[in-house]
Amino acid sequence: MTLLSLVLLLTSSIHAVEYDHAVEFSRYKTWSWQAGVPVPPEPVPDKRIREALARGLAARGLSEVDSDATLLVRYHAARSTRIDRLPFDSGSGAPPTGIRYVETGSLVIDLLDAASGKVVWRGHAAGVLRYGPKEITALIDAAVAELLAQFPPATESRP
């Protein structure tokens, strides 16, 4: 498994966000990385994901701190292979078997309340992986930006 291929998810992608509707997100002012999360084996994509998250959270007014953060951040990334069946007579350059292996990937960003340890916001991006070293940073930035565009959630009217 390589993280490099995990985060290249823009074409045919799914982006979803869920959050705890009872949480007042305006109280979060600082963040830090959640301790104890395993370090991914691929240092370059890990660094790029972390940098994109740091930029995105800073753009939303949150300051990164070494201790006593109000919000903890972690992410998970994974990839898998699926088999697509193609029409036999598609004429689109399909392989003669009519089968194509497609690499897919997912990126999940969790934001946790530091006091309770509970996830208060989660963003998920998934889609077909695209390879190419020149596109990596742009694709990571785009996936993280699209998810964090929905953080903090819009204020709901409360009775």
Architecture of domain 3-148: 2-Layer Sandwich (3.30)
**Is 120 in contact with 19 (CB distance < 8 Å)?**
yes
* pLDDT computed for residue 25 by the predictor: 97
Tens-digit pLDDT profile for residues 11-50: 447 789 999 999 999 999 999 999 988 877 777 778 888 9
Tens-digit pLDDT profile for residues 118-154: 999 999 998 777 676 656 677 788 889 999 999 999 8
pTM of the predicted protein model: 0.81
* pLDDT computed for residue 66 by the predictor: 96
The pLDDT > 90 percentage for the chain reads 46
* pLDDT computed for residue 98 by the predictor: 78
